[in-house]
Amino acid sequence: MNPSPITFLKGHGTENDFVIVPDPDNAVDLPATAVARLCDRRAGIGGDGLLHVVRSAAHPEARDMAGDAEWFMDYRNGDGSVAEMCGNGVRVFAHYLQHAGLVGAGDLAVATRGGVKRVHLDKQGDVTVSMGRALLPEDGVTVTVAGRSWSARNVNMGNPHAVAFVDDLAHAGNLFSVPAFTPAAVYPDGVNIEFVVDRGPRHVAMRVYERGVGETRSCGTGACAVAVAAARRDGADPALTGAPVTYTVDVLGGTLVITERPDGEIEMTGPAVIVAEGTIDPSLL
Ligand SMILES: N[C@@H](CCC[C@H](N)C(=O)O)C(=O)O
């Protein structure tokens, strides 16, 4: 039984929006059904996902990170499923900690299921996250929408992505349901699928179908996956040249700037905002 009332906030990063539930002591029970109800845009608060804000020491999945990061981002997709990582979510999470007076401007660490992420909050409101390295398995993947097929790059940013370069973002169709991908065995736990077009030198635009959500207006891990896939397609590999490579990635909800460093570390910079605060009717949970 949950205590009442339960505070929530609503925030977004490039319009990837989240219900934020501050719960330092991990006292709020949030089964998948409750998360899905809260994220429902008609009967709930509405969001692509939910950020459960818990002290690392109070969460069984984060206790071993408590020495490095005081706060754990217990991220859930809008359908209630758990994902390894959420790039826009980390920016919004860090911005919330600052908004709540729990951290100051500057640098902090956030524990996630994908490990501890270093975050920098700048004075203009932009947030930069060190997202870790991309893994690039060599599997051949094909994505199909409405009779058109593309070979896609498999990129793992802690969570799985298939990046398809297309001629026109409209070719992704309405994205009301998950695009077909083969072989299914490459992604046994499902996948986030990005459709990408070129906008200029080291500048691309994307749409995304997110696992556990549907089409969203932005995906931070997706933008990182796209930047790395675009760099390799363009013959750029910072590990070989010793020079960082930066891509501007336009999403439907704004723009993210992604830099891959020679050691493989990927940095993502973009905005994060809080738009509302309130209390949750306990009957939703
Ligand atoms: N929107 C997120 C990604 C959230 C997780 C994803 N839907 C998954 O299931 O892997 C981002 O900004 O990275």
The pTM score is 0.97
How many other C-beta atoms can be found within 10 angstroms of the C-beta atom of residue 95? 23
257 and 170 together in one domain: yes
Residue 51 near ligand 1, beta carbon < 6 Å: no
DSSP H helices, 114-262, are: 220-233, 238-241
Q: Name the β-bridge partners of 20.
A: 9, 51
Domains of the chain: total: 2
The reply to whether 136 falls in a domain is no
Find out whether 127 and 121 touch, Cβ atoms under 8 Å: yes
**Pocket lining: 192 vs ligand 1, CB cutoff 6 Å:** yes
92 in a domain, yes or no? Answer: yes
Same domain, 158 and 229: yes
Please check whether residues 106 and 46 belong to one and the same domain: yes
User: Which structural domain, as residue segments, surrounds residue 183?
Assistant: 141-263
Q: Does 258 share its domain with 276?
A: no
Tell me the pLDDT of the chain (285 aa) as tens digits: 665 789 999 999 999 999 999 999 999 999 999 999 999 999 999 999 999 999 999 999 999 999 999 999 999 999 999 999 999 999 999 999 999 999 988 999 999 999 999 999 998 889 999 999 999 999 889 999 999 999 999 999 999 999 999 999 999 999 999 999 999 999 999 999 999 999 999 999 999 999 999 999 999 999 999 999 999 999 999 999 999 999 999 999 999 999 999 999 999 999 999 999 999 988 888
Which H or E run includes 147?
Answer: none
Q: How far apart are CA 274 and CA 271, in angstroms?
A: 11
The answer as to whether 188 is a domain residue is: yes
Same domain, 13 and 124: yes
Query: Residue 181 and residue 230: Cα distance in Å, rounded?
Result: 20
Integer angstrom CA distances of residue 170 from 124, 193, 197, 216: 34, 15, 10, 15
Beta carbon of 86 within 6 Å of any ligand 1 atom: yes
Cα-to-centroid distance, 208 and ligand 1 (Å): 10
49 C-alpha vs ligand 1 centroid, how far in Å?
Answer: 8
The Cβ-side half-sphere exposure at 124, using a 13 Å CA radius, reads 5
Q: Are residues 151 and 94 in the same domain?
A: no
Instruction: Give the position of tokens 């050691």.
Output: 263
On whether both 184 and 95 belong to a single domain, the answer is: no
108: domain CATH number is 3.10.310.10
Asked whether residue 110 falls in the same domain as residue 211, the answer is: no
- In a domain, residue 33? The reply is yes
| 86 and 74 Cβ atoms separated by less than 8 Å | no
Q: Are residues 109 and 168 in the same domain?
A: no
Shortest-distance atom of ligand 1 to CA 224: 13
Same-domain check for residues 123 and 154: no
Q: Is the confidence metric ipTM above 0.90 for this complex?
A: yes
Quick one: residue 254, left, alpha or beta (phi over 0 = left, psi -120 to 50 = alpha)?
left
Q: Which helix (H) or strand (E) holds 98?
A: helix 87-99
Residue 135 located in a structural domain: no
Position 172 in a domain:
yes
224 is a catalytic site residue: no
Q: Is residue 223 included in any domain, yes or no?
A: yes
Q: Are residues 152 and 99 in the same domain?
A: no
Same domain? 11 vs 124:
yes
For residue 157, how far is its CA from the centre of ligand 1 (angstroms)? Answer: 10
